[in-house]
Amino acid sequence: MKKITLLISFFATTLAVAQSAPDSLQINPQNQQNAAQRILSGNINNGVTVGGYGEITYNQPEADNGELDVQRLVLLFGYKFNDKVQFITEVELEHVEEVFVEQAFIQYSLSDNVNLRGGLMLVPMGIVNEYHEPTTFNGVERPSVDGNIVPTTWREIGFGVSGKFDDASLRYQAYVFNGFSSVNGEKVLGGKNGLRNGRQKGIKSTVDSPNLAAKLDYYGLPGLRLGLSGYFGRTQAEDDIEDIDGSSVGISMVGLDARYAKKRITARGQFIHASLSDTEDYNSLYSSDLGSALQGWYLEAAYNLLPIEKEQQLYAFARYEDFDTNASVDGGLVKNDSYDRNEWTFGLSYKIAPGAVVKADYQIKDNASDSDVPNQLNIGLGVWF
């Protein structure tokens, strides 16, 4: 409890003293854009716009061999048909050999503040699921809360609306999506990584019942951006089993996030909670260990060690994460303490030019069980253009 109180106090102090540095890594969060938003806002003339981002990583767990990986290379394409209609797509190559379409949607602008969208889109939950370009976050790897609870990168096919109310300093998004798959090939939803195996990613996606996702972002205070996210629905079951008890799981997920920047100091925090129903029947049907609640949070602060007038930036950062994919369980399932995890990440992000970063960090990992979790050294290169 003392550790949590200290972290909250540290985060609050950071927010109180914290200004934005003018680049893509530590920009004023009120003005921050992801790759798709940047293309949409930058398409001044009709025609094609091209961009991309990528990461090369080295992960070295204690007492094990290290791994070098071209983790991802993403090519972005935007086409502006006219002043109202644009198309955005991201084609991602993971680990050199796997190819995915990360986004592919059409936007129709009814006005400056109202945009209709349809296609394969990111689910607006938390920070990193929408803002995951390597120059927009600290750490070689994305936060574990985003990987295990959200789960990043989470995208599905749907339609909806986005825009802003400038008078109220609010940005909004609301979409209807197809949901997670109850069973994805041979993969089932489970205790270790929660809903992650259920991401359909637009690959011949099963559609059973609609799911609703929405987010509000408030930007009315200087340097501060606050987010409230929600996702509600059920997993998708195949036709031949959809009437069987346990063939699908109900999901209610909420998220709170905050980003702040002032001068040489930045901070961010996030909390995600997902309540799942019908998990007892699901676990019986599929011999799984899916919890009835998933929960995680983190706090992070960073300080630019170089003078603020310099184009290059060197941020030292620290992040604490606490996440549990068996936060609660139903029926006879025994809570697995190894799924109750926490991590400290300490590192440096060296912005050698706008859009290019070199990162290094060390992670101290632990869980609530008696098992040892190896700590890990990470080094990475990231670009976004």
- Which of 123, 91, 94 has its CA nearest to residue 104? 91
Which residue intervals of the chain are DSSP H helices?
2-17, 35-42, 144-148, 279-286
Query: In a 3-state reduction of DSSP, which class is residue 90?
Result: strand
Q: Model pTM?
A: 0.90
Looking at residue 40, its pLDDT comes to 87
Looking at residue 10, its pLDDT comes to 37
Tokens matching residue 372: 């040892």
Domains in the chain with CATH codes: 2-384 (2.40.160.10)
Looking at residue 13, its pLDDT comes to 38
Q: How far is CA 147 from CA 141, 177, 332, in A?
A: 9, 20, 27
Tens of pLDDT, residue by residue, the chain (385 residues): 444 444 444 334 333 333 333 344 456 787 788 888 888 887 666 789 999 999 999 999 998 999 999 999 999 999 999 999 999 999 999 999 999 999 999 999 999 899 999 999 999 999 999 999 999 999 999 999 999 999 999 999 999 999 999 999 999 999 999 999 999 988 999 999 999 999 999 999 999 999 999 999 999 999 999 999 999 999 999 988 888 999 999 999 999 999 999 999 999 999 999 999 999 999 999 999 999 999 999 999 999 999 988 989 999 999 999 999 999 999 999 999 999 999 999 999 999 998 999 999 999 999 999 888 999 999 999 999 9
- Which of 49, 164, 159 has its CA nearest to residue 106? 159
- Which of 384, 127, 134 has its CA nearest to residue 270? 127
Looking at residue 23, its pLDDT comes to 47
End-to-end Cα distance, the chain: 43
Looking at residue 242, its pLDDT comes to 85
Q: How far is CA 248 from CA 186, 204, 241, in A?
A: 16, 18, 9
